[in-house]
Structures are given as C-alpha cells and as structure tokens.
Amino acid sequence: MAARRAPLARARRRVHIILDAGGSDRVSQFVHRFLIATVIVSVTAVVAESDAALNARFGHLFLALEIAVASVFTVEYALRLWSAPDHTPYSDMTPARARWAFARTPAAIIDLLSVFPFYLGFFLPADLRVLVLLRLLRFFKLARYSPGMRSLMAALEAERKALFASSVILLGLVLITAAAMHLIEHDAQPDQFGSIPQSMWWAIVTLTTVGYGDVVPITALGRILAGFTMLAGLMMLALPIGIISNAFASEIHRRDFIVTWAMIARVPLFASLSAAEIAEVMDYLRARTVPTGSVIVRRGEAGTCMYFIASGSVEVEASAGPVPLGEGQFFGELALLRRARRGATVRALESTKLLVLEGGDLQSLMDRNPELASRIKAVADSRTSPGASDTAAGEDGNTPT
C-alpha cells in the first residue's frame, strides 16, 4: 500500500510546486503564464460580451471561451484542493482538514466563485446579470502571480484594525455632520434635509470630496458647516492613505530584506557569517537581476564594483575560451583590488540574480571583517597565480578583472 501511495504523493507534491510553490522550472513558468493569459482572456470576454452588438455577432465565440475558461479553472481549483496537504501551513494536518482549511482562504474562495456562475447557469437558465460580477472576480486571481498585489494585500491585512478604526471615525463624522446639517437646513430645504438619513447623502458626498452639487446648503450657518466638513473630509481621507502607504512600504522592505538575506546565505563566501554579520553585509549589498544575454561587465571599462551570483549563471569571455560561473561564485574583485580596468567581458547565460558591492563598500567591509577580507584576497591571488587555470581564474585567467 505504501509503495502505491509513494508515486501519488510525489505527483501531489509536484502539482503543489507547479501551482503554489513558485517553481522556477519551465513547466511551472508555462503553467503560470497560461493561467495569467486565461484570466486576461476571460475578463476581456466578459467585458466585451456586455456590448449587445458584439454579443449578437460573437455570441457563440463567447460561449466557447466561457466553457474553455471554466474547464481550465475547474481543473486548477481541483488540483489546488488536492495538493493542499503539501502546503507548509497545513503540513501537520490530516489531508481532509488541510483541504478544508485551504478552501476557506480568500484565494480559494475567489477560485471557487470564478467557476460558480458557469455551473449555476445549468440550474438557473435565466439571464442573471449579477453573475457577471462573479465572473469578473477572476481578475483577482492575478493577485496570486503578482508579488506587488500580494504585498498590498498583506499590508491591508496587517493594518486591518487601524483601517477599521479610521472607518468608524469617518462613519461618526458622517452621522454628526448629517445631523447638524439636518437641524440647520431642514426648514429651508425640507425636501433635501428633511431627515438625518436624507442629510447623510450630502455628508458622504462632502466628506469624500466628490461634491456632486445636487444637494447644497443655502443658509449662512449651513455653508459654514459645509466648509468645516470639507476640511474634515480631506484630513480623514489622508488618514487611511497614510496607513496603507506606510504598511505597504514596510511590507516591501520586509520582503526585500528576506529575499536579500536568502541570496546572501546562498553565497559560500558568507556561509560562516553570523546573523549580525549578514545583517551588516546587507547594508552594503544591493540586489540586481539581469536577463539572459545581458552584458554585466565589459572588457576595458573601469571596475567600480564586484558581483556575487545568488542564482543563475554567467559566462566569462576569457582568452582561452568561455568560462562559466554559477551560483555562489563571484567576479569583478580583481579590478577593484588592483585598481585596474576590466580584463574580460561577462554575460548572463540565463536570468541571473546578482548581489552588487561597490568598490568603496568593499573596502569598508574588508576593513570591518578581516576574515572575509582574507578570503576575498585568497581567491583573487589564486586567480592571478601563474599556475591558475582559466576556470579557477574566473574572468580572464591572469588578467585583473
């Protein structure tokens, strides 16, 4: 029985990696791009279908697209539900509990609602316009593939209490200003301000600075109150914006900190550093991603920084032939240490993530960490020693780079 379950468990793990774990292989990238394209096509079709002329002309095409999209999203939802036990947050749960926990997450609910209108149509053949809104929820599936949107959602989640408090304050202002305007204007404009509920429309429009102008005070005291309400609205709108922007910036900084930390930890040169020393190194390094085929450094140019390969690979155009460098290796230190020009051109063989260290920062880092300085100098000496091979030499054998 265990032998039978092993291939199924491996398949489930593979599905989880492809769909949810951010796999970097070609299959994962193809699946993600295909799902993104499906979402875009689906939303575009729903919007175009609302036009009567287009619907009359391409109705059959829209129906075929809806069937295809619903089928893709149904399979996707089923696979995500099946592979839920492999999610890290649910790893200590039984498969049934893990799937139930996953099904209650906002992302899974959006996945379910995105296919719900299609199957509901079999039981309710009437043209329910509200179902269009559910189909447009597919747009939010893109949040799963956008780091920026995920960071924004995380920021909103982290500041939900502060945002709720600001909403309560705004609601209180609506009630107070509506009640005050009702007392001031109800005799002058009984049709517009005859009750507090009627006055709340004016209060909402004024506090949000929309200003439709369909309901305005005509008394002097009413206009004075309206002026204070406008100023209060400006201040109240700035409050949630400030909360969200600050939380979003903190979330981006936290994500970049984690990513950079992971990149530094993969470089063998920094493997023995303590957490405090890695944090110190992070103050000097900056991350950079270069696409396939890009020139990183060019022979003959001045050397201003050195590079650590966090992921991917590069090729050094050495005199004896191309020399590949991979994850964990570094290059460009010779030109800095010897104050010389680049001795070779380096290109990215694939999409490569680099950690860049400026020349002045390199010297400061070496002064503060003698052990790290000795390692860098040892590698540099090995690359310029008479017996060093081109592969060991890194960029250009005995030529400083």
Q: Parse the chain into domains and list their residue ranges.
A: 2-145, 160-255, 275-393
Q: Is the pLDDT of residue 281 over 50?
A: yes
* Residue 160: φ, ψ to 5°: -60, -35
Higher pLDDT among residues 77 and 89, named by residue: 77
* CATH class of domain segment(s) 2-145: mainly alpha
pLDDT of res. 389: 38
Helix (H, G, I), strand (E, B) or coil at 74: helix
* CATH class of domain segment(s) 160-255: mainly alpha
Q: Is the pLDDT of residue 267 over 80?
A: no
* Banded pLDDT at 336 (limits 50, 70, 90): confident
Both tokens assigned to 227 = 């002026």
pLDDT of res. 265: 67
Specify the pairing of strand 305-311 against strand 314-318.
unpaired
CA distance linking residue 390 with residue 388, whole number of Å: 7
Higher pLDDT among residues 172 and 116, named by residue: 172
CA distance linking residue 197 with residue 202, whole number of Å: 10
Pair 118, 45: CB distance under 8 Å = no
Q: What is the mean pLDDT of residues 188-198?
A: 90
CA distance linking residue 69 with residue 79, whole number of Å: 15
Long-range contacts of 270-277 (CB under 8 A, 24+ apart): 270/372, 272/371, 273/369, 273/372, 277/369
Amino acid at 335: A
Mind listing the pLDDT tens digit for each residue in 196-251?
999 999 999 999 888 888 889 999 999 999 999 999 988 888 888 888 888 888 87
Of the candidates 86, 115, 73, 67, the one whose C-alpha atom is nearest the C-alpha of residue 13 is 86
pLDDT of res. 386: 53
CA 108 to chain centre: 18
Q: Is the pLDDT of residue 392 over 60?
A: no
pLDDT of res. 304: 82
pLDDT above 70 as % of the chain: 84
Residue 181 CB contacts under 8 Å (≥ 6 apart), including other chains: 193, 199, 202, 203, 217, 222, 225, 226
* CATH class of domain segment(s) 275-393: mainly beta
* Banded pLDDT at 397 (limits 50, 70, 90): very low
Q: What is the mean pLDDT of residues 282-308?
A: 84
Of the candidates 241, 176, 240, 238, the one whose C-alpha atom is nearest the C-alpha of residue 203 is 176
CA distances from 132 to 50, 129, 138 (A): 9, 6, 11
Pair 243, 237: CB distance under 8 Å = no
Mind listing the pLDDT tens digit for each residue in 135-185?
787 888 887 777 677 777 778 888 889 889 988 999 999 999 999 999 999
Q: In a 10 Å sphere around its CB, with 0-12 CB exposed, 13-18 middle and 19+ buried, how is residue 199 labelled?
A: buried
Please report how the helices 52-82 and 95-103 are oriented relative to each other, as an axis angle in degrees rounded to 10.
Answer: 150
Q: Is the pLDDT of residue 48 over 70?
A: yes
* Banded pLDDT at 331 (limits 50, 70, 90): confident
CA distance linking residue 357 with residue 26, whole number of Å: 31
* Banded pLDDT at 369 (limits 50, 70, 90): confident
